[in-house]
Structures are given as structure tokens and as C-alpha cells.
Amino acid sequence: MNWTLALPEIVLSVSGLAILVFGVLQRRDPTQVCSLLTLAAFVLTGVLVLLAPDGIGYNSVFVGDDFARYMKILSLAGAALSLILSMDYNRREGIGRFEFPVLLLFSTVGTMVMASSENLMTLYIGLELQSLAIYILCAFDRDRLGSAEAGLKYFVLGSLASGLLLYGVSLVFGFAGTMEYRGLQAALSASAEIPTGLVIGIVFIIVGLAFKVSAVPFHMWTPDVYQGAPPPVTSFMAGAPKIAAFALLLRVMAGPFGTASHQWQLLIELISMASMLFGALAAIPQTSIKRLMAYSSIGHMGYALMGLAAATPAGMRGTLIYLAVYLFMNAGTFAVIVAMRRRGRPVERIADLAGLGRTDPGLALAMAIFMFSMIGVPPLSGFFGKLLVFSAALQAGLPVLVVVGIVSSVIGAYYYLRVVKVMYFDVATAAFDRPAASVSLVSAGMGLVTGLFILLLGPVSSAAQAAAAVLFR
């Protein structure tokens, strides 16, 4: 048996346990040290992911391939960026406890297991590990009512989604007789007609995963949880777990259920359309920047689902690139949100950004880049993401989906541009507190990545191409 297949996950888990023991044995406050150790563990794991071999192991429940590698690197990057944002935020808010980086680390282990799943049980275990840690992280600022509410809400609805997913898994197992992806693929392509019970099982699995990526109509938790959770946690939730849930959606739908694509394609198409339109329309009346980002994330998941709806290698590649693009511009936007503090207290209204163009030109420029990128203005990164999913959907013969996508992009432009307008044309209010170097670094770094994405397009595109090819072997 090939033990080294899961070496990155093993190393990350063991370092998580070691950091936990180290932290709890310290007499002085170990938060900073533990955060730095966790960051180092993320970097080490990233290197190991790149070196990890391909293949299937552990009684064929775990797989290592280009797709898993791509998704793991993205979720590690997302987790590391959120961790950097949290270090300063938690200290200033007085919630700096060393459990935070450890929980973030275990959640990341969950996302990596999800990306490598080759069996519906591995899928579920990864999903639960990831979710359980996030439930606690949402309620980490436990003395604040909003944070506790966010944790509880996400827990209750997340458990419901897990239940639906498990029910779907049990139906699939009952009708196909196996939970292995390869076995399912063989069973489905061998049978002339797909049993109705199996189709219902697939629908339940889609529902469970759509909840995790917060696609309409399973989005209701998103705005409240995004608003209530501490911003570094929100930036993590919008990044790594969604990428992992997308990894599952792509892997399960394109792999084992790929031959049944005509059964689920319309469903994904409808979810995608509903998410794009709802994300665009519901964000218009928002006054809180965190709620705005929640609706924006619902919309972006709709665009990313467009590539899956196409059910072609080009579509999958489009989705993968879209996710990478979204991860970086989202982390950057949340860096700006973390920097929004006046007189030692966080502020979150869009109106609080007024005059940022004069009081802090650097931060305002970064925010403007993220907003324009989210609209999809060339040559920023968001443009390439949208271009690839739109063209893939068009090639797959889904013109209605593309038209809905373009219309909702235009509607969405209104509220993204409103943020830019508030920053540059409204009368300046008091300046923000001076942001910590780490926060400025993340916002500037992500601004560079988003602005100069055209230079990264080649390598990202070829990595996504290789990852998508694995799904259609």
C-alpha cells in the first residue's frame, strides 16, 4: 500500500495536534507563536502536496491526482491568507486564543480530504471535519451576540444539509451497490437505464453540496453567517470550504455520475441561473459590506457552476480557473474589510468607506481593483474567469445560461461600482485606524495578483487544464 499518498494530510494533522499540545502547555499567551507555526505547517504541506505521488490508496478510498493537487493548493492558500488576516484582527478584538489557528488547520485538513475523496464515505468524513471546525470558528467571538448566532445558525442548517447528503449517499449505495467512484462509474455505464432511486440519490447529494457552496435555493444561511462571523473566518468560509465543496461537485458529477449527465445537467443549470440572478438582485439594497460580500459570493458561485453545467472539459477548466480567481480577489476584499476600523472598533457599513480614496489611497486602489475584477472588467482576473465559463457554456449549447449570466453581471456592476463611487466621490469622514502590516500586505498582494493576473494566466490555466483532464479520463 502506498502510504505516501496521504502524506500531506498526515503531516498537517500531526502538526495540528502538536501545535494544540504546545499551545495548551504554555504558561504565557501562545497565540502568536501558534499562528506562525500553523502558517509554517501550511507552507510545508503545500510543498508536500506538490511532491505527493499520483494513485489510489487506502483500500481505494483516497486518490492523489492533478485535480486534488490543484484544489489542495487553493484551499491551503485560502487558509493561509485568512490566518494572516486573523492574527491582527483577533488580537485587536481581544479574542486571540491559540485554538483559532488550530481549528483553521483542522478545517483545512477536512478540505484536503474532500479534494482527494474517491469514495462517498471519504467525501462525508472530509466534509464533516471541515464543517465542525467552521461551526466553532463562526462562534469564536462568543461574547458577541452576532457571532454566537452565526455559529448556531450555520450548525443547525449545516447539520440539515449533512443529513440530506447522507440520505442521498445511502440511496446511491442502495441502488448501485457501491460507494466507490470507480465502481459507481462502472455500474452506471453498464446499466442501460439508470434507476429512479439512484437519480433521487444524486439529487440529494447535489442538494447537500449546493448548500455548502451556498447556491440558490440553499443560500439562506449565507448573509447572516457572513455578517455575524468574525471577518477572517468569513474570508476563510468564502474560500477554502467552497473550493473543496466545488471539488466534490466536480469530481462526483463528472466522474461517477458523468454518464448520467443528462439527468443532472438541467438541475445545475437552474441552480446556476438562480444563484447569479439572486446574487445580483438581492445585493442592491444592502448597506453592510459583509452582507454585500455574502450576496456577491452567492452570485459568484452561480458563475462557477456554469462551467459544471456545461459538463465538458473546457467547462470544468473554466470553473477551476474561476475558483482560483475568486479565492484571491475575495481574500483581498476581506483584507480591506478587516482594515475597516475606527477608534479601535470595527465598522462595516458601506458608507464608512466614504472618502477612502483621499484618506488611504493605497487601500482604496486595492478595493477598487477587487470591485472591478468582480464585475469582470478586463484585464483584471475576474474577466478571465467569466470569459472562460461563458465560452464553455456557449460551446456546450447553453445560450440561455450565458444570457442570464451577462444580464446578472450587468446588474451586479451597479453595487460593485457603488462601493467605488462611495470611496472616491463621497465626502470624506474620519480616516481608518492604521492597519497592521500583515493586513496591508494581504490586500496589496492580492491586488497585485488580481490586477496582473494576465501574467499568471498561463501557469494557472495549464494547471487547471491538467486537473480537468483527470476528471474525464
Which residues contribute to the site for another protein (CB under 8 A)?
Answer: 1, 17, 20-21, 24-25
Q: Which is nearer to another protein, 45 or 333 (CB)?
A: 45
- The nearest distance, CB 10 to another protein, in angstroms, is 9
In sequence order, the 6+-apart residues with CB closer than 8 A to the CB of 71 are 111, 115, 243, 244, 246, 247, 467
- The nearest distance, CB 169 to another protein, in angstroms, is 22
Q: Is residue 64 helix, strand or coil?
A: strand
In sequence order, the 6+-apart residues with CB closer than 8 A to the CB of 344 are 92, 433
3-state helix, strand, coil split of the chain in percent (to 5) is 80, 5, 20
- The nearest distance, CB 97 to another protein, in angstroms, is 11
Backbone angles phi, psi at 143, to 5 degrees: -80, -10
Query: Distance (Å, rounded) from C-alpha 104 to C-alpha 37?
Result: 12
Q: Which is nearer to another protein, 26 or 395 (CB)?
A: 26
Q: Cα Rg for the chain, rounded, in angstroms?
A: 21
Q: Which is nearer to another protein, 21 or 156 (CB)?
A: 21
Q: Which is nearer to another protein, 66 or 99 (CB)?
A: 99
Q: Is residue 62 helix, strand or coil?
A: strand
Q: Which is nearer to another protein, 135 or 264 (CB)?
A: 135
Q: How does 251-261 read in b/e, with b if 16+ C-beta sit within 10 Å?
A: bbbbbbbbbbb
Q: Which is nearer to another protein, 1 or 192 (CB)?
A: 1
- The nearest distance, CB 122 to another protein, in angstroms, is 15
- The nearest distance, CB 68 to another protein, in angstroms, is 22
DSSP per-residue letters across 148-213: HHHHHHHHHHHHHHHHHHHHHHHHHHHHHS--BHHHHHHHHHHSSS--HHHHHHHHHHHHHHHHHT
* HEC letters along 300-359: HHHHHHHHHHHCCHHHHHHHHHHHHHHHHHHHHHHHHHHHCEECCEECCEHHHHCCHHHH
Q: Which is nearer to another protein, 25 or 192 (CB)?
A: 25
Pairing type for strands 55-57 and 62-64 reads antiparallel
Q: Which is nearer to another protein, 18 or 431 (CB)?
A: 18
Cell of 215: 447556491
- The nearest distance, CB 34 to another protein, in angstroms, is 13
Could you tell me how many residues make up the chain? 473
Query: Distance (Å, rounded) from C-alpha 8 to C-alpha 29?
Result: 29
Q: Is residue 468 helix, strand or coil?
A: helix
In sequence order, the 6+-apart residues with CB closer than 8 A to the CB of 319 are 246, 250, 304, 305, 306, 307, 308, 389
- The nearest distance, CB 207 to another protein, in angstroms, is 29
- The nearest distance, CB 209 to another protein, in angstroms, is 27
Q: Which is nearer to another protein, 32 or 59 (CB)?
A: 59
- The nearest distance, CB 129 to another protein, in angstroms, is 12
Query: Distance (Å, rounded) from C-alpha 176 to C-alpha 421?
Result: 55
Q: Which is nearer to another protein, 58 or 167 (CB)?
A: 58
Residue 215 DSSP code:
-
- The nearest distance, CB 21 to another protein, in angstroms, is 6
Query: Distance (Å, rounded) from C-alpha 153 to C-alpha 147?
Result: 10
Q: Under a CB-based contact definition with an 8 Å cutoff, are residues 220 and 157 in contact?
A: yes
- The nearest distance, CB 148 to another protein, in angstroms, is 14
Q: Which is nearer to another protein, 14 or 266 (CB)?
A: 14
